[in-house]
Amino acid sequence: MAWGDDAEDARLHGTHIAESVLDLIGNTPLVRLKRISEIHGIRSVLAMKMETTNPGGSSKDRPALEMILAAERDGLLWPGRTIVEPTSGNTGVGLAIVAVQRGYHCVFVMTDKVAPEKVQFLRAYGAEVVVCPVAVPPDDPQSYYKVAERLTDERDAFRPNQYANPNNPAAHFATTGPEIWRQTGGRITHFVAGAGTCGTITGTARYLKEQNPDIQVIAADPDASVFSGGSGRPYLVEGVGEDFFPAAWQPDLYDGVIPITDEQSFLTAREVSKEEGILIGGSGGMAVAAAIEVAKQAGPGDLVVVLNPDSGRGYLSKVFNDDWMANFGFLTESADCVSAVLEARGSTPALLYVNPSDTVRDAIEVMRANGVSQLPVCKNTPPFAAAEVSGSVDELDLMEAVYRDQAVLGLPVEHVMGLKLPTIGVGQRIAMAVGMLDASPALLVLSGGRPLSVLTRSDLLSYFEATAGAAHG
Protein backbone atom coordinates (compact mmCIF):
# COMPACT_ATOMS: atom_id res chain seq x y z
CA MET A 1 0.00 0.00 0.00
CA ALA A 2 1.27 3.45 -0.89
CA TRP A 3 -1.13 5.83 0.77
CA GLY A 4 0.13 9.36 0.18
CA ASP A 5 3.44 8.78 1.95
CA ASP A 6 5.39 8.23 -1.25
CA ALA A 7 8.94 9.26 -0.35
CA GLU A 8 9.45 10.61 -3.88
CA ASP A 9 6.67 13.18 -3.69
CA ALA A 10 6.75 15.38 -0.60
CA ARG A 11 3.45 16.98 -1.66
CA LEU A 12 1.65 13.77 -0.67
CA HIS A 13 3.14 13.57 2.76
CA GLY A 14 0.47 13.15 5.41
CA THR A 15 -2.35 12.63 2.90
CA HIS A 16 -4.55 9.57 2.43
CA ILE A 17 -4.41 9.38 -1.35
CA ALA A 18 -3.82 6.03 -3.01
CA GLU A 19 -1.02 5.99 -5.57
CA SER A 20 -3.26 4.32 -8.16
CA VAL A 21 -6.46 2.29 -8.34
CA LEU A 22 -4.33 -0.84 -7.94
CA ASP A 23 -3.75 0.09 -4.31
CA LEU A 24 -7.50 -0.08 -3.73
CA ILE A 25 -7.73 -3.79 -4.56
CA GLY A 26 -8.58 -5.95 -1.54
CA ASN A 27 -9.32 -4.97 2.05
CA THR A 28 -13.02 -5.40 1.35
CA PRO A 29 -15.47 -5.11 4.28
CA LEU A 30 -17.41 -7.78 6.14
CA VAL A 31 -21.05 -7.05 6.91
CA ARG A 32 -23.63 -8.98 8.92
CA LEU A 33 -26.73 -10.28 7.15
CA LYS A 34 -29.00 -9.60 10.11
CA ARG A 35 -32.34 -9.39 8.34
CA ILE A 36 -31.65 -12.49 6.27
CA SER A 37 -30.69 -14.25 9.51
CA GLU A 38 -33.97 -13.21 11.16
CA ILE A 39 -36.07 -14.29 8.19
CA HIS A 40 -34.40 -17.72 8.02
CA GLY A 41 -34.25 -18.38 11.77
CA ILE A 42 -30.44 -18.35 11.89
CA ARG A 43 -28.89 -18.19 15.37
CA SER A 44 -25.22 -18.21 14.37
CA VAL A 45 -23.58 -15.02 13.10
CA LEU A 46 -23.80 -14.77 9.31
CA ALA A 47 -21.52 -12.19 7.68
CA MET A 48 -20.80 -11.40 4.05
CA LYS A 49 -17.42 -10.51 2.56
CA MET A 50 -18.29 -7.69 0.15
CA GLU A 51 -16.01 -8.08 -2.84
CA THR A 52 -18.07 -5.42 -4.63
CA THR A 53 -15.90 -2.70 -3.11
CA ASN A 54 -12.91 -3.74 -5.21
CA PRO A 55 -12.27 -1.16 -7.98
CA GLY A 56 -13.58 -3.53 -10.68
CA GLY A 57 -16.54 -4.50 -8.48
CA SER A 58 -15.59 -8.14 -7.98
CA SER A 59 -13.31 -10.62 -6.24
CA LYS A 60 -11.47 -11.10 -9.54
CA ASP A 61 -9.44 -7.91 -9.16
CA ARG A 62 -7.27 -9.84 -6.71
CA PRO A 63 -6.11 -12.68 -9.02
CA ALA A 64 -5.95 -10.27 -11.98
CA LEU A 65 -3.36 -8.13 -10.17
CA GLU A 66 -1.43 -11.13 -8.85
CA MET A 67 -1.32 -12.92 -12.24
CA ILE A 68 -0.02 -9.81 -14.03
CA LEU A 69 2.57 -8.95 -11.37
CA ALA A 70 3.81 -12.55 -11.41
CA ALA A 71 4.04 -12.54 -15.22
CA GLU A 72 6.09 -9.33 -15.09
CA ARG A 73 8.40 -10.92 -12.50
CA ASP A 74 8.74 -14.02 -14.71
CA GLY A 75 9.57 -11.93 -17.80
CA LEU A 76 6.37 -12.99 -19.62
CA LEU A 77 4.93 -9.48 -19.86
CA TRP A 78 6.44 -6.19 -20.96
CA PRO A 79 4.73 -2.88 -21.79
CA GLY A 80 2.88 -2.99 -25.11
CA ARG A 81 2.30 -6.77 -25.03
CA THR A 82 -1.24 -8.12 -25.52
CA ILE A 83 -3.14 -10.14 -22.91
CA VAL A 84 -5.76 -12.68 -24.14
CA GLU A 85 -8.13 -14.36 -21.68
CA PRO A 86 -11.43 -16.27 -21.94
CA THR A 87 -13.50 -14.83 -19.11
CA SER A 88 -17.12 -14.45 -18.10
CA GLY A 89 -16.44 -10.82 -17.37
CA ASN A 90 -15.16 -10.16 -13.89
CA THR A 91 -11.62 -11.42 -14.45
CA GLY A 92 -11.65 -9.36 -17.61
CA VAL A 93 -12.55 -6.20 -15.71
CA GLY A 94 -9.77 -6.87 -13.21
CA LEU A 95 -7.23 -7.56 -15.95
CA ALA A 96 -8.41 -4.53 -17.94
CA ILE A 97 -7.90 -2.25 -14.94
CA VAL A 98 -4.44 -3.60 -14.19
CA ALA A 99 -3.56 -3.52 -17.92
CA VAL A 100 -4.53 0.16 -18.22
CA GLN A 101 -2.28 1.01 -15.29
CA ARG A 102 0.65 -1.07 -16.52
CA GLY A 103 0.43 -0.51 -20.27
CA TYR A 104 -1.01 -3.66 -21.89
CA HIS A 105 -3.67 -4.24 -24.55
CA CYS A 106 -6.40 -6.77 -23.63
CA VAL A 107 -8.54 -9.13 -25.77
CA PHE A 108 -11.32 -10.98 -23.94
CA VAL A 109 -13.24 -13.99 -25.19
CA MET A 110 -16.73 -14.56 -23.77
CA THR A 111 -19.78 -16.75 -24.41
CA ASP A 112 -23.11 -15.39 -25.53
CA LYS A 113 -24.65 -16.57 -22.20
CA VAL A 114 -23.11 -13.58 -20.47
CA ALA A 115 -25.21 -10.48 -19.75
CA PRO A 116 -24.63 -7.75 -22.37
CA GLU A 117 -23.68 -5.22 -19.68
CA LYS A 118 -20.55 -7.24 -18.98
CA VAL A 119 -19.35 -6.87 -22.58
CA GLN A 120 -19.88 -3.10 -22.45
CA PHE A 121 -18.00 -2.98 -19.17
CA LEU A 122 -14.84 -4.37 -20.75
CA ARG A 123 -15.07 -2.18 -23.81
CA ALA A 124 -15.35 0.82 -21.49
CA TYR A 125 -11.78 0.10 -20.31
CA GLY A 126 -10.55 0.03 -23.90
CA ALA A 127 -10.42 -3.77 -24.17
CA GLU A 128 -11.40 -5.80 -27.25
CA VAL A 129 -14.20 -8.39 -26.69
CA VAL A 130 -14.90 -11.46 -28.85
CA VAL A 131 -18.26 -13.21 -28.18
CA CYS A 132 -18.60 -16.98 -28.93
CA PRO A 133 -21.65 -19.32 -28.83
CA VAL A 134 -22.15 -21.14 -25.50
CA ALA A 135 -23.96 -24.08 -27.13
CA VAL A 136 -20.85 -25.75 -28.59
CA PRO A 137 -18.62 -28.36 -26.92
CA PRO A 138 -15.26 -27.19 -25.46
CA ASP A 139 -13.26 -28.81 -28.32
CA ASP A 140 -15.30 -27.08 -31.07
CA PRO A 141 -13.18 -24.47 -32.92
CA GLN A 142 -15.91 -21.91 -32.14
CA SER A 143 -15.83 -22.59 -28.37
CA TYR A 144 -14.50 -19.78 -26.26
CA TYR A 145 -11.57 -21.85 -25.07
CA LYS A 146 -10.49 -22.64 -28.65
CA VAL A 147 -11.00 -19.08 -29.91
CA ALA A 148 -8.85 -17.81 -27.03
CA GLU A 149 -6.11 -20.30 -27.97
CA ARG A 150 -6.16 -19.18 -31.60
CA LEU A 151 -6.04 -15.46 -30.71
CA THR A 152 -3.14 -16.05 -28.29
CA ASP A 153 -1.14 -17.64 -31.13
CA GLU A 154 -2.11 -15.05 -33.73
CA ARG A 155 -1.21 -12.06 -31.55
CA ASP A 156 1.73 -13.69 -29.77
CA ALA A 157 -0.09 -12.74 -26.59
CA PHE A 158 0.28 -13.58 -22.91
CA ARG A 159 -2.51 -15.74 -21.60
CA PRO A 160 -2.99 -15.47 -17.81
CA ASN A 161 -5.19 -18.62 -17.94
CA GLN A 162 -6.96 -18.15 -14.64
CA TYR A 163 -8.07 -21.82 -14.76
CA ALA A 164 -4.51 -23.13 -14.47
CA ASN A 165 -2.54 -20.17 -13.09
CA PRO A 166 -1.30 -20.89 -9.53
CA ASN A 167 -1.23 -17.13 -8.89
CA ASN A 168 -5.05 -17.15 -8.97
CA PRO A 169 -5.47 -19.16 -5.72
CA ALA A 170 -2.24 -17.55 -4.46
CA ALA A 171 -3.91 -14.12 -4.59
CA HIS A 172 -6.67 -15.31 -2.27
CA PHE A 173 -4.19 -17.08 -0.03
CA ALA A 174 -2.23 -13.83 0.28
CA THR A 175 -5.16 -11.42 0.71
CA THR A 176 -8.73 -12.79 1.06
CA GLY A 177 -7.85 -15.42 3.67
CA PRO A 178 -5.77 -13.11 5.91
CA GLU A 179 -8.40 -10.36 5.68
CA ILE A 180 -11.20 -12.67 6.82
CA TRP A 181 -9.05 -14.09 9.60
CA ARG A 182 -8.19 -10.59 10.81
CA GLN A 183 -11.69 -9.17 10.40
CA THR A 184 -13.26 -11.99 12.43
CA GLY A 185 -10.57 -11.87 15.09
CA GLY A 186 -9.85 -15.51 14.25
CA ARG A 187 -13.39 -16.51 15.27
CA ILE A 188 -14.62 -17.64 11.86
CA THR A 189 -15.98 -21.21 12.02
CA HIS A 190 -17.39 -21.65 8.49
CA PHE A 191 -16.43 -20.22 5.11
CA VAL A 192 -18.84 -20.49 2.16
CA ALA A 193 -18.07 -19.44 -1.43
CA GLY A 194 -19.00 -20.31 -4.98
CA ALA A 195 -16.42 -22.01 -7.16
CA GLY A 196 -15.58 -21.38 -10.80
CA THR A 197 -11.84 -21.54 -11.33
CA CYS A 198 -11.74 -22.54 -7.61
CA GLY A 199 -9.14 -19.82 -7.00
CA THR A 200 -11.24 -18.09 -4.34
CA ILE A 201 -12.29 -21.13 -2.36
CA THR A 202 -8.97 -22.95 -2.54
CA GLY A 203 -6.69 -19.98 -1.77
CA THR A 204 -8.90 -18.73 1.06
CA ALA A 205 -9.46 -22.22 2.49
CA ARG A 206 -5.75 -23.01 2.49
CA TYR A 207 -4.97 -19.88 4.49
CA LEU A 208 -7.85 -20.28 6.94
CA LYS A 209 -7.14 -23.98 7.56
CA GLU A 210 -3.50 -23.18 8.21
CA GLN A 211 -4.68 -20.88 11.00
CA ASN A 212 -7.33 -23.26 12.31
CA PRO A 213 -7.86 -26.69 10.70
CA ASP A 214 -11.33 -26.92 12.28
CA ILE A 215 -12.74 -24.16 10.08
CA GLN A 216 -15.35 -25.71 7.81
CA VAL A 217 -15.06 -24.74 4.15
CA ILE A 218 -18.15 -25.24 2.02
CA ALA A 219 -18.43 -24.73 -1.73
CA ALA A 220 -21.74 -23.52 -3.15
CA ASP A 221 -22.35 -24.91 -6.62
CA PRO A 222 -24.94 -24.77 -9.42
CA ASP A 223 -26.75 -28.12 -9.18
CA ALA A 224 -25.78 -29.10 -12.74
CA SER A 225 -22.06 -28.41 -12.23
CA VAL A 226 -19.51 -31.19 -11.82
CA PHE A 227 -18.28 -29.94 -8.41
CA SER A 228 -21.55 -31.03 -6.77
CA GLY A 229 -21.82 -34.22 -8.82
CA GLY A 230 -23.71 -32.82 -11.82
CA SER A 231 -22.84 -33.54 -15.42
CA GLY A 232 -21.92 -29.97 -16.38
CA ARG A 233 -25.10 -29.52 -18.41
CA PRO A 234 -26.26 -25.91 -18.92
CA TYR A 235 -27.57 -23.70 -16.13
CA LEU A 236 -28.24 -19.99 -15.96
CA VAL A 237 -26.25 -18.64 -13.03
CA GLU A 238 -23.06 -17.01 -14.33
CA GLY A 239 -19.42 -17.26 -13.30
CA VAL A 240 -19.62 -20.36 -11.11
CA GLY A 241 -19.72 -24.13 -11.58
CA GLU A 242 -17.94 -25.96 -14.39
CA ASP A 243 -18.14 -28.93 -16.74
CA PHE A 244 -14.54 -29.91 -15.86
CA PHE A 245 -12.26 -29.78 -12.82
CA PRO A 246 -9.85 -26.79 -12.95
CA ALA A 247 -6.28 -26.99 -11.63
CA ALA A 248 -7.17 -25.22 -8.38
CA TRP A 249 -9.96 -27.72 -7.50
CA GLN A 250 -8.71 -29.22 -4.24
CA PRO A 251 -11.46 -31.27 -2.60
CA ASP A 252 -9.35 -32.21 0.44
CA LEU A 253 -9.71 -28.56 1.50
CA TYR A 254 -13.51 -28.55 1.25
CA ASP A 255 -15.76 -30.03 3.93
CA GLY A 256 -18.82 -30.02 1.71
CA VAL A 257 -20.28 -28.94 -1.61
CA ILE A 258 -23.89 -27.74 -1.60
CA PRO A 259 -25.83 -27.88 -4.89
CA ILE A 260 -28.07 -24.86 -5.45
CA THR A 261 -30.64 -24.44 -8.26
CA ASP A 262 -30.82 -21.43 -10.55
CA GLU A 263 -34.15 -20.61 -8.95
CA GLN A 264 -32.72 -20.58 -5.40
CA SER A 265 -29.73 -18.51 -6.58
CA PHE A 266 -31.80 -15.83 -8.30
CA LEU A 267 -34.52 -15.59 -5.67
CA THR A 268 -31.89 -15.34 -2.91
CA ALA A 269 -30.01 -12.61 -4.81
CA ARG A 270 -33.27 -10.66 -5.01
CA GLU A 271 -34.02 -11.33 -1.34
CA VAL A 272 -30.60 -10.08 -0.17
CA SER A 273 -30.97 -6.98 -2.33
CA LYS A 274 -34.47 -6.20 -1.03
CA GLU A 275 -33.96 -7.18 2.61
CA GLU A 276 -30.41 -5.99 3.23
CA GLY A 277 -30.07 -3.18 0.67
CA ILE A 278 -27.08 -4.97 -0.84
CA LEU A 279 -27.39 -5.55 -4.59
CA ILE A 280 -25.72 -8.88 -5.32
CA GLY A 281 -25.49 -11.04 -8.47
CA GLY A 282 -26.81 -14.54 -9.15
CA SER A 283 -23.64 -16.29 -8.02
CA GLY A 284 -23.68 -14.24 -4.80
CA GLY A 285 -27.29 -15.35 -4.36
CA MET A 286 -26.14 -18.94 -4.83
CA ALA A 287 -23.41 -18.54 -2.20
CA VAL A 288 -25.83 -16.92 0.26
CA ALA A 289 -28.43 -19.68 -0.34
CA ALA A 290 -25.79 -22.25 0.63
CA ALA A 291 -24.60 -20.12 3.56
CA ILE A 292 -28.18 -19.94 4.87
CA GLU A 293 -28.25 -23.77 4.96
CA VAL A 294 -24.85 -23.85 6.69
CA ALA A 295 -25.72 -21.09 9.16
CA LYS A 296 -29.02 -22.80 10.10
CA GLN A 297 -27.13 -25.98 11.01
CA ALA A 298 -24.40 -24.07 12.85
CA GLY A 299 -24.57 -23.35 16.59
CA PRO A 300 -25.26 -19.93 18.17
CA GLY A 301 -21.54 -19.42 18.86
CA ASP A 302 -20.54 -20.06 15.24
CA LEU A 303 -19.46 -17.39 12.78
CA VAL A 304 -20.26 -18.09 9.14
CA VAL A 305 -18.59 -15.97 6.45
CA VAL A 306 -20.00 -16.03 2.91
CA LEU A 307 -18.12 -14.42 0.08
CA ASN A 308 -20.14 -12.30 -2.34
CA PRO A 309 -18.11 -12.11 -5.56
CA ASP A 310 -19.88 -9.29 -7.42
CA SER A 311 -22.75 -6.83 -7.71
CA GLY A 312 -26.25 -7.25 -9.12
CA ARG A 313 -25.56 -4.28 -11.39
CA GLY A 314 -24.12 -6.65 -13.96
CA TYR A 315 -27.39 -8.62 -14.07
CA LEU A 316 -30.07 -5.94 -14.23
CA SER A 317 -31.36 -7.31 -17.56
CA LYS A 318 -31.69 -10.83 -16.12
CA VAL A 319 -31.94 -11.56 -12.39
CA PHE A 320 -33.43 -8.13 -11.61
CA ASN A 321 -35.69 -8.00 -14.66
CA ASP A 322 -39.17 -9.28 -13.68
CA ASP A 323 -40.09 -10.16 -17.29
CA TRP A 324 -36.93 -12.23 -17.80
CA MET A 325 -37.46 -13.98 -14.45
CA ALA A 326 -41.13 -14.69 -15.20
CA ASN A 327 -40.37 -15.97 -18.70
CA PHE A 328 -38.06 -18.63 -17.27
CA GLY A 329 -40.73 -19.60 -14.76
CA PHE A 330 -38.97 -18.14 -11.71
CA LEU A 331 -41.75 -15.68 -10.78
CA THR A 332 -45.55 -15.78 -10.68
CA GLU A 333 -47.16 -12.65 -12.15
CA SER A 334 -50.78 -13.43 -11.31
CA ALA A 335 -53.05 -16.22 -10.06
CA ASP A 336 -54.61 -16.23 -13.51
CA CYS A 337 -51.50 -17.74 -15.02
CA VAL A 338 -50.35 -20.61 -17.22
CA SER A 339 -50.06 -22.99 -14.29
CA ALA A 340 -53.85 -22.70 -13.76
CA VAL A 341 -54.34 -24.00 -17.33
CA LEU A 342 -51.91 -26.86 -16.77
CA GLU A 343 -53.58 -27.78 -13.48
CA ALA A 344 -57.00 -27.80 -15.12
CA ARG A 345 -55.60 -30.20 -17.71
CA GLY A 346 -55.10 -32.69 -14.88
CA SER A 347 -51.80 -34.02 -13.62
CA THR A 348 -49.07 -32.55 -15.83
CA PRO A 349 -47.70 -35.46 -17.85
CA ALA A 350 -43.94 -35.72 -18.33
CA LEU A 351 -42.69 -33.45 -21.11
CA LEU A 352 -43.09 -35.10 -24.51
CA TYR A 353 -40.01 -34.53 -26.69
CA VAL A 354 -37.68 -36.02 -29.26
CA ASN A 355 -33.89 -35.99 -29.36
CA PRO A 356 -32.18 -34.32 -32.34
CA SER A 357 -30.91 -37.74 -33.49
CA ASP A 358 -34.32 -39.47 -33.30
CA THR A 359 -35.80 -40.15 -36.72
CA VAL A 360 -38.80 -38.42 -38.21
CA ARG A 361 -40.55 -41.82 -37.96
CA ASP A 362 -39.89 -41.82 -34.18
CA ALA A 363 -41.30 -38.29 -33.88
CA ILE A 364 -44.46 -39.21 -35.78
CA GLU A 365 -44.86 -42.22 -33.50
CA VAL A 366 -44.58 -40.10 -30.31
CA MET A 367 -47.10 -37.60 -31.68
CA ARG A 368 -49.54 -40.32 -32.72
CA ALA A 369 -49.30 -42.27 -29.48
CA ASN A 370 -49.96 -39.13 -27.41
CA GLY A 371 -52.40 -37.30 -29.66
CA VAL A 372 -50.23 -34.18 -29.99
CA SER A 373 -49.19 -32.17 -33.06
CA GLN A 374 -45.97 -30.46 -31.87
CA LEU A 375 -42.91 -31.67 -30.03
CA PRO A 376 -39.86 -29.79 -28.78
CA VAL A 377 -36.52 -31.20 -29.88
CA CYS A 378 -34.26 -31.46 -26.82
CA LYS A 379 -30.68 -32.64 -26.35
CA ASN A 380 -29.88 -35.23 -23.65
CA THR A 381 -32.49 -36.60 -21.25
CA PRO A 382 -34.93 -34.92 -18.83
CA PRO A 383 -34.80 -32.77 -16.80
CA PHE A 384 -33.71 -30.47 -19.63
CA ALA A 385 -32.25 -27.01 -19.31
CA ALA A 386 -33.90 -24.32 -21.44
CA ALA A 387 -30.61 -24.09 -23.37
CA GLU A 388 -30.89 -27.75 -24.39
CA VAL A 389 -33.97 -27.12 -26.53
CA SER A 390 -32.75 -26.93 -30.11
CA GLY A 391 -35.96 -26.74 -32.17
CA SER A 392 -39.39 -28.25 -32.66
CA VAL A 393 -41.27 -30.54 -35.01
CA ASP A 394 -44.80 -29.96 -36.22
CA GLU A 395 -47.18 -32.61 -37.59
CA LEU A 396 -48.17 -30.47 -40.56
CA ASP A 397 -44.58 -29.71 -41.59
CA LEU A 398 -43.59 -33.37 -41.25
CA MET A 399 -46.56 -34.46 -43.33
CA GLU A 400 -45.56 -32.10 -46.15
CA ALA A 401 -41.90 -33.13 -45.99
CA VAL A 402 -42.71 -36.86 -46.06
CA TYR A 403 -45.23 -36.31 -48.87
CA ARG A 404 -42.46 -34.71 -50.98
CA ASP A 405 -39.90 -37.42 -50.16
CA GLN A 406 -40.61 -40.59 -48.18
CA ALA A 407 -36.90 -41.00 -47.35
CA VAL A 408 -37.40 -38.15 -44.85
CA LEU A 409 -38.99 -40.72 -42.50
CA GLY A 410 -35.57 -42.17 -41.76
CA LEU A 411 -33.76 -38.84 -41.29
CA PRO A 412 -32.80 -37.50 -37.86
CA VAL A 413 -35.28 -34.81 -36.82
CA GLU A 414 -32.49 -32.25 -36.51
CA HIS A 415 -32.35 -32.21 -40.34
CA VAL A 416 -35.98 -31.21 -40.72
CA MET A 417 -36.89 -29.52 -37.44
CA GLY A 418 -38.36 -26.03 -37.26
CA LEU A 419 -37.63 -23.13 -34.93
CA LYS A 420 -37.88 -23.50 -31.16
CA LEU A 421 -41.37 -23.00 -29.77
CA PRO A 422 -41.81 -19.59 -28.15
CA THR A 423 -41.42 -19.89 -24.38
CA ILE A 424 -43.73 -18.71 -21.62
CA GLY A 425 -43.19 -18.95 -17.86
CA VAL A 426 -45.52 -21.09 -15.79
CA GLY A 427 -46.37 -18.00 -13.72
CA GLN A 428 -47.04 -15.68 -16.68
CA ARG A 429 -50.53 -14.42 -17.45
CA ILE A 430 -53.02 -16.42 -19.48
CA ALA A 431 -53.70 -13.23 -21.48
CA MET A 432 -50.08 -13.34 -22.62
CA ALA A 433 -50.43 -16.98 -23.70
CA VAL A 434 -53.53 -16.07 -25.72
CA GLY A 435 -51.62 -13.30 -27.51
CA MET A 436 -48.62 -15.55 -28.24
CA LEU A 437 -50.77 -18.41 -29.53
CA ASP A 438 -52.00 -16.07 -32.24
CA ALA A 439 -48.64 -16.41 -33.92
CA SER A 440 -47.62 -19.93 -32.92
CA PRO A 441 -49.71 -23.13 -32.59
CA ALA A 442 -47.94 -24.09 -29.35
CA LEU A 443 -45.78 -22.65 -26.58
CA LEU A 444 -43.09 -24.26 -24.45
CA VAL A 445 -43.84 -23.66 -20.77
CA LEU A 446 -40.80 -23.12 -18.53
CA SER A 447 -40.74 -23.64 -14.77
CA GLY A 448 -37.67 -22.97 -12.63
CA GLY A 449 -35.71 -22.35 -15.85
CA ARG A 450 -36.60 -25.78 -17.29
CA PRO A 451 -39.05 -26.93 -19.97
CA LEU A 452 -42.16 -28.28 -18.20
CA SER A 453 -44.82 -28.83 -20.83
CA VAL A 454 -46.21 -27.75 -24.20
CA LEU A 455 -49.25 -25.47 -24.15
CA THR A 456 -51.58 -25.44 -27.17
CA ARG A 457 -54.61 -23.52 -28.35
CA SER A 458 -56.82 -26.48 -27.49
CA ASP A 459 -55.49 -26.48 -23.89
CA LEU A 460 -56.66 -22.89 -23.57
CA LEU A 461 -60.01 -23.61 -25.20
CA SER A 462 -60.65 -26.50 -22.79
CA TYR A 463 -59.66 -24.28 -19.87
CA PHE A 464 -61.95 -21.45 -20.97
CA GLU A 465 -64.79 -23.92 -21.45
CA ALA A 466 -64.28 -25.42 -17.99
CA THR A 467 -64.05 -22.02 -16.29
CA ALA A 468 -66.71 -20.25 -18.40
CA GLY A 469 -68.22 -17.33 -16.51
CA ALA A 470 -65.07 -16.39 -14.63
CA ALA A 471 -63.06 -13.35 -15.83
CA HIS A 472 -59.65 -13.91 -17.42
CA GLY A 473 -56.85 -11.41 -17.50
Ligand X SMILES: Cc1ncc(COP(=O)(O)O)c(C=O)c1O
Q: Report, as residue numbers or ranges, the catalytic residues.
A: 60
Q: How far apart are CA 269 and CA 287, in angstroms?
A: 9
Task: Label the pairing between strands 256-260 and 30-32.
Answer: unpaired
Number of Cα atoms under 13 Å in the Cβ half of residue 277: 3
Quote the least distance from Cβ 88 to ligand X, whole Å.
5
Give the DSSP H or E segment for 218: strand 216-222
Question: For 294-297, which contacts have Cβ atoms below 8 Å and span 24 or more sequence positions?
Answer: 294/190, 294/192, 294/216, 294/218, 294/258, 295/37, 295/40, 295/42, 295/44, 295/46, 295/190, 296/40, 296/41, 296/42
Q: Rounded to the nearest 5°, which phi and psi values hold at 231?
A: -100, 0
Q: Least Å distance between CB 106 and ligand X? A: 16
Q: Residue 418's beta-bridge partner residues?
A: 392
Instruction: Give the Cα separation of 11 and 230 in Å (integer).
Output: 58
> Cα separation of 319 and 282, whole Å?
7
For residue 242, count other CB atoms closer than 10 A to its CB.
Answer: 19
- Residue 374 in 3-state DSSP? strand
The residue with its CB nearest to ligand X is 239
CB of 91 to ligand X, least distance (A): 6
Characterize 38-66 residue by residue with b for buried, 16 or more Cβ atoms within 10 angstroms of its Cβ, and e for exposed. Answer: eebebebbbbbbbbbebbbbbbbbbbbbb
Instruction: Kindly state the DSSP code that residue 138 receives in the 8-state scheme.
Output: T
Shortest Å distance, C-beta 65 to ligand X: 14
Q: Taken in order 30, 31, 37, 42, is the CA torsion positive or negative?
A: positive
Cβ nearer to ligand X, comparing 91 with 261: 91
Q: How far is the CB of 201 from ligand X (least distance, A)?
A: 6
Nearer to ligand X, 36 or 237 (CB): 237
User: Where on the chain is the footprint of ligand X (CB under 6 A)?
Assistant: 60, 88, 90-91, 194-201, 239-240, 281, 283, 309-310
Task: Rank residues 57 and 425 by Cβ distance to ligand X and give the closer one.
Answer: 57
For ligand X, give the closer residue by CB, 51 or 358.
51
The number of beta carbons lying within 10 Å of the beta carbon of residue 90 is 29
Q: Could you give phi then psi for residue 465, rounded to 5 degrees?
A: -65, -45
- Write down the least CB distance from residue 275 to ligand X, Å: 21
**Inter-residue contact 14 to 1 (CB < 8 Å):** no
Q: Which residues contact 25 (CB under 8 A, 6 or more apart)?
A: 54, 55, 61, 62, 65, 94
Whether the Cβ atoms of residue 344 and residue 451 lie closer than 8 Å to each other:
no
Residues in the chain: 473
Nearer to ligand X, 241 or 376 (CB): 241
For ligand X, the closer of residues 160 and 194 by Cβ is 194
CB of 110 closer than 8 Å to CB of 87: yes
Q: For ligand X, which is the closer residue by CB, 294 or 326?
A: 294
Minimum CB–partner distance for residue 242 and ligand X (Å): 9
Kindly tell me which of 26 and 281 has the beta carbon lying closer to ligand X.
Answer: 281
Residue 419: CB minimum distance to ligand X, A: 32
